[in-house]
Chains A and B, each alone.
Chain A
Amino acid sequence: MSVVNYGTREITCKIVYYGPGRSGKTTNLQHIYSRLPEERKGKMVSLATETDRTLFFDFLPLDLGTISGFATRFQLYTVPGQVYYAATRKLVLQGVDGVVFVADSQSRQLAENIESLQDLHANLADEGLDPRTIPLVMQYNKRDLPAGEISAIEELDGTLNFRGVPYFAGSAVSGGGVFETLRSISSMVLSRLSAPATKA
């Protein structure tokens, strides 16, 4: 997809928040949305079920205004985490520039994290993107839960982060780590402005 269009003087980046169901992807976007100044607040589109879980996807357009003469837009998406929404996840991943993997720190969710990560890799490969090189940031969310319920960061990182990408502890409900994560993935995506896209 992206990124620089010299003709129209635009920079557009698509960032997808990926991860198992209920890991906090939508909460990340909601926190970002809540911190946007009024003049930058577009519409956050959220398609949720009655039980508040993402049915299709969330979409948050971030219009950052003109930077260095370029109209800059970030498009933030989440995917539905539940296993049975595989087709939707594939669709949302189309044209992605960077991925935030939001892992659930709860010890009992480790298998779901691994499954979701494998699903991400498979879908990226299907999209012709190399899972080993696409900009990726890990967020270990729900660090606010009692210590007895969550895995240590080192343990999570050792299991999930085989690429050794930047990782952040998160507590999306209170906003902890949300902007740090966004900043990191944005920086990684932008650093590829001059790099050719890598295909699998």
Chain B
Amino acid sequence: MAADSNKGAEDDGGEFAAFMADISEEIALRVESLEPPPKPKPEARKPTPVARDAGLILEWENVVDRMIEDIR
């Protein structure tokens, strides 16, 4: 894998331009061949478990009303 060192005298801007061209090609090749990481699947919504005291929850508005009434 040899190396040619002393041709370093590509013209000034040319060195960077050639580098950019190579890198762009390499990146294009890579990112196109790569699958983006899979997005996490949205979790299926679990039905809210009905708690033993669910009745209280359902009656929440009434409870609040009662509390307000008590305060008065």
Q: Which residues of A contact B (CB under 8 A)?
A: 4, 6, 11, 32, 34-37, 40, 64, 67-70, 72, 140, 143-144, 153, 164-171, 174-180, 182-183, 186-187, 190-191, 193-194
Contacts and interface: CB of A to CB of B under 8 A. Distances in A.
19 contacts: A32-B16, A35-B12, A67-B28, A68-B28, A68-B32, A70-B27, A70-B31, A72-B23, A167-B3, A169-B4, A169-B6, A170-B5, A171-B6, A171-B8, A174-B6, A175-B15, A177-B3, A178-B15, A193-B30
Contact of A177 (B1, B8, B27, B31): B8
A174 B34 contact: no
B59 interface: no
Given A166-B1, A177-B8, A182 B19 contact: yes
B16 A35 contact: yes
A177 B24 CA distance: 20
Nearest to B11: A35
Contact of B3 (A64, A180, A193): A180
Interface of B: 1-10, 12-13, 15-16, 18-20, 22-24, 26-28, 30-34, 36-37
Q: Is the interface of A mostly helix, strand, loop or mixed?
A: mixed
A180 B9 CA distance: 12
